A = this chain, B = another copy of it.
Amino acid sequence: MQEIGFVGLGNMGMPMARNLAAAGYKLSVFNRSREKAERLAAETGVTVVSRPSDLGKPGGVVISMLADDAALEQVVKGPEGLSEGPAGIVHVSMSTVSPEISRRIGEIHTGRGDRYVSAPVFGRPEAAASRKLWICQSGDPSAAGQIRPILETLGQGIFDFGADPGAANIVKLAANFVIGAAIESMAEALALVEKNGIDRVRVMEMLSSTLFDCPIYKNYGSRIAAQKYDEVGFALPLGLKDIQLVQAASVAARVPMPFAAIVRDRLLATLAKGRGQLDWTAFALGVSDDAGLTH
């Protein structure tokens, strides 16, 4: 099995790295807070390295799963970053970041003789753990064959959106926006039924077993109906980050998106009310607040 460098052992990266190790890949891992990497090493025998520049080998794959544009930029261009390590690597960037940073990082890699593929994922930590992620990829087409078995170890399906490294990020942001809009629309509908004396859980069960019989409406819908937001699959500040990326992309492309603006303000209000430690779905509480409902 080929060796893989892996950087970023957060809520998503940790189960992904664990799955790669379980599949027999020989992993070198870097994480900013080293304890997490040591924990994974104790558990699976992966090698811990002290800097991103030690992750790459000519012809080898490095996977990054980071929180935001700044973290990705740091890992590539920062001191002891990938760009100070061996050239000729294949960098698979699986973070949800802006299309702009993907394009810029792609150019840096191309300039060094590396190959760069953007491959953001859909799915919460449970989906990462059970290898049920959906992956959309774009970027250097010559790397696709080499990384396919790796991506297939991580997810249940791969969708290719061509050579522009920013394309997969746009698709990922668009999808996260559609999820955010679904959360708001479920919250509005359920507040309406609740104030009419109708059981919100029962209505959500009906919707998500008929017209909206799909993962987002089932999983998010059951949380919103029951108003349980303590279990954090996707942190609220990251949700705000994504919606801000959606809005930046909408400004860049000149696409008015009124729903995105409403979701953005819901997320801001949720932070303002001191609920930033809850799952991002908790912005649905703002709809109930506005309707004078207690929860």
Contacts and interface: CB of A to CB of B under 8 A. Distances in A.
Interface of A: 99, 122, 134, 136, 157, 159, 161-162, 164, 166-167, 170-171, 173-175, 177-179, 181-182, 184-186, 188-193, 195-198, 202-203, 206-207, 210-217, 246, 249-250, 253-260, 262, 287, 290-292
Contacts of A174: 189-190, 192-193, 203
Contacts of A291: 253-256
Nearest to A213: B214
Nearest to A171: B203
Contacts of A250: 192
Contacts of A260: 188
21 contacts: A134-B206, A157-B210, A161-B203, A167-B197, A170-B198, A171-B193, A174-B190, A177-B185, A178-B186, A178-B212, A179-B211, A181-B181, A181-B184, A181-B185, A188-B255, A188-B258, A191-B255, A192-B246, A192-B250, A213-B215, A253-B291
A194 B203 CA distance: 35
Given A196-B99, A197-B167, A290 B207 contact: no
Nearest to A210: B134
Contacts of A173: 192
Contacts of A195: 253-255
Given A171-B193, A211-B215, A258-B262, 16 more contacts: A134-B211, A136-B206, A175-B211, A178-B185, A178-B207, A179-B211, A181-B184, A181-B188, A188-B259, A192-B246, A196-B249, A212-B214, A214-B214, A253-B291, A256-B290, A259-B262
A206 B253 contact: no
A132 to B, nearest CB: 10
Contacts of A255: 188, 191-192, 195, 290-291
A192 B206 CA distance: 31
A254 B184 CA distance: 17
Interface centre among A162, A173, A188, A213 (most CB of B within 10 A): A188
Contacts of A292: 254
Contacts of A287: 256
